[in-house]
A and B are shown apart, each in its own frame.
Chain A
Amino acid sequence: MNDDELLARLKAADPALTRSAPPPDIDQLVEATLNTVTPTAPLDAGAPSVRPRRHLLGLAAAVGLLVLGGGIGVGVMANGSGGGGGGTANTGGNQAKHSGSSAAAGALRLTAEGGSAKCAAPTPDSLRGYPTVFLGTVTSIKGTVVTFRVDHWLKGGTARTVVLDSDTSRPEALTFIDGDHYIVAAKDGVVPVCGANGVTADDIAKFRKAYGK
């Protein structure tokens, strides 16, 4: 088999030709890239229903930045109708890549990095030292990006949505489950070891009481 024959055989088996995927909409992709602001999910009223289940998980060696608060642009962002590519606040790292899918206006963005650890159940006392603490429900998981709807701020925040970007070499350790409830603590935008834990309805009541929220 010479080069030409090999090339012909390879080309005949080209998956891009044999698979029937719709062609990409270039204009729409460009628009989505330049305009990454999406509406915030509405904040549910009332206490969330909770399954009697607890997930303990840890985010080890967290390194990150509190990237966004109060409507400041993050990642790749531009106003599609107006400024025409003006806003390009660059956060560095991989965060910008994810901003299109889940970043919401006014969302708090946290980054976590690292693996897993066995964590003791969090208590109001054990989380006392963190300036940022909230009870939230996972609304979407996309790759390494987990979006929380904030059910109750216990400390230090007002955003309705928190986006946790785990830019990590071991993301499989971050086992969040869509629709489950978590308590998340952060300091300087860092979600530390054992900083995110699954909570039950009892836990939620306990924490809310302890923080007076």
Chain B
Amino acid sequence: MRRARFEGLAQVVVEPLHRYLLRRASTETAEDVLSETLLVLWRRIDDVPGLGDGSASPPDPDDVLPWCYGVARGCLANARRADGRRLRLVERLIRTQQRAPEEAAEHGELHAALASLGAADREVVRLWAWEGLAPRQIAEATGSTPNAVSIRLHRAKARLAAQLGRKNGGRPGHKSDEGRSGQ
């Protein structure tokens, strides 16, 4: 039954999806996009890989989550486009205000280093570190291949580490070629 399958899926994915969105958008946007993501999941419940027929126990998060992250990613991109420049500016202002106290102080350097990566590199790194996905799962979430993800992740991690190392003033010249590793 569709409804039971959806409820089972929601129990497993809602909280990880919420965290996924919180990491990439304002609290308000995260909530809006979460609702939209669930509507898409409901509509496409038959397409969710690894969900089975729902008669069994709840689905394994490792099976269903990467695909669901992909849906949330698309919904977030849609929302960003839809909001337009005006709202993006507003959101940026809000986000700056929200994050200023905690993140700028404690993790500003790391976020700056993340921001220096290309969008695709950054997303791969975040999916690896924060969502805890393996390259195969990252590939599923981003519509790439495991091989390409592995290479991208390897390079992005090296660049990030180099960036952080440089900022710390440690080991000048170490891994000096990393800045050139392209996307």
Contact = CB atoms under 8 A, between A and B. Distances in A.
Interface stretch (A7-15, A178-186, A199-207): A7-15
A171 B22 CA distance: 24
A143 B32 contact: yes
B130 A10 contact: yes
A12 B103 CA distance: 10
Interface residues of A, number: 45
Contacts of A36: 39
Contacts of B164: 1, 6, 9
A99 interface: yes
B110 A172 contact: no
A11 B130 contact: yes
B43 interface: yes
B35 interface: yes
A84 B166 CA distance: 58
B147 interface: no
B135 to A, nearest CB: 13
B130 A171 contact: no
A52 interface: no
B92 interface: no
A88 B42 CA distance: 9
Contacts of A98: 36
Contact of B165 (A1, A3, A23, A30): A1
Contacts of A47: none
Interface residues of B, number: 53
Contacts of A10: 110, 125-126, 129-130
A30 B13 CA distance: 11
A29 B23 contact: no
Given A1-B165, A3-B157, A97-B39, A19 B130 contact: no
B114 to A, nearest CB: 8
Given A30-B6, A34-B3, A143-B79, A15 B14 contact: no
Interface in B1-43: 1-3, 6-7, 10-11, 14-15, 18-20, 22-23, 27, 30-32, 34-36, 38-40, 42-43
A97 B110 contact: no
Nearest to B171: A1
Contacts of B157: 3, 6
Interface stretch (B58-66, B83-91, B136-144): B83-91
Interface of B: 1-3, 6-7, 10-11, 14-15, 18-20, 22-23, 27, 30-32, 34-36, 38-40, 42-43, 75, 78-79, 81-86, 98-99, 102-103, 106-107, 110-111, 125-126, 128-130, 157, 160-161, 164-165
